[in-house]
Amino acid sequence: MHKTVQNLIDIQKKINFSLDNINENKVPKIIAVSKTFSIDKINPLIEHGHLDFGENKVQEAIDKWSNIKLKNKDINLHFIGGLQTNKVKFAVKLFDYIHSVDSEKLAKKIHDEQEKQNKKIKIFIQVNIGNEEQKSGVNKVSLPNLYSYCKKLSLDVIGLMCIPPQDKSAEYYFKELNSLNKDLGLNELSMGMSADFIDAVKSSATYLRIGSTIFGKRT
């Protein structure tokens, strides 16, 4: 068995153990964050039946995934990085999910490209949950207005996404995002990475973005 597949199975076991302890039945999906990794490391996961993968650079994703997605229509590709408006048309064409909508300008651009391409993308709004100056994401005060704007555009907003501050309790911020999500009547939560995915599971995450724990350290 390939190392990446074994790592994925180990993560799934840890998730299931955590869910058993909190009496939670909904198992979150694991997005294998394959950014910077070659197809040689990704193929064993595809052959194993894993369908959700994440990338944070549009051009890298196009080069890596265009042919694979033509052959395997069931693969879900998630864009998890900061998305520049001049890259939106390419992102809409290739990706199935965008996890980083944080402005009306970006939302409008996605809407316009969806209309042109006759394609619907599933959207997460990225929240700057720790109010950190260096991080992307809409602030909590402006979140309801951005959500309302996205709904006016008929964007398929399914939930919220965050990256918590590194020097504080991730679980605290995950619970806060869960609360904001419920306030908006949304069902999906994109939160939790290699270092904190168990905390995210305990806070009702439905999508986990896990890279190095599956693929190993990036060089």
Site of tokens 């996404």 = 161
pTM comes to: 0.96
CA atoms of 64 and 81, how far apart (whole Å) = 16
Could you tell me the sign of the dihedral formed by the alpha carbons of 125, 126, 128, 132, in that order?
Answer: negative
Q: Rounded to whole angstroms, what are the CA distances from 60 to 35, 47, 98?
A: 8, 21, 16
36-185: what fold?
TIM Barrel (3.20.20)
Residue 162 has pLDDT above 90, yes or no: yes
Predicted local distance difference test score (pLDDT) of residue 133 = 86
Instruction: Work out the pLDDT band at 20, boundaries 50, 70, 90.
Output: confident
The whole-number pLDDT of residue 14 equals 95
Q: What is the pLDDT of residue 26?
A: 82
Domain boundaries, the chain: 36-185
State residue 21's pLDDT score: 77
| High-pLDDT (> 90) share of the chain, % | 88
Specify the pLDDT at position 5: 96
Beta bridge partners of 33: 54
**Residues 34 and 55 sit within 8 Å (Cβ to Cβ):** yes
pLDDT > 80? residue 167: no
The answer to whether 141 touches 116, Cβ cutoff 8 Å, is no
Question: In a 3-state reduction of DSSP, which class is residue 187?
Answer: coil
> 88, 133 in Cβ contact below 8 A?
no
User: pLDDT tier at 168 (50, 70, 90 boundaries)?
Assistant: confident
Which of 185, 214, 184, 183 minimizes the C-alpha distance to 197? 214
What is the per-residue pLDDT for 217?
84
| Rounded average pLDDT over 168-184 | 95
CB proximity list for 107: less than 8 A, separation 6 or greater:
101, 146, 149, 150, 153, 155
Q: What pLDDT sits at residue 22? A: 75
| pLDDT tens-digit readout, 68-117 | 999 999 999 999 999 999 999 999 999 999 999 999 999 999 999 999 99
Residue 174's closest CA among 182, 166, 162?
A: 162
pLDDT per residue as tens digits for the range 112-158? 999 999 999 999 999 999 998 888 999 999 999 999 999 999 999 99
Residue 148 Cα to chain centre, angstroms: 21
Residue 31 has what pLDDT?
98
CB contact burial 157-166 (16+ within 10 A = b; e otherwise) = bbbbbbbbbe
Structure tokens at 147: 């959500």
Q: Residue 200 has what pLDDT?
A: 96
The pLDDT of residue 219 is: 66
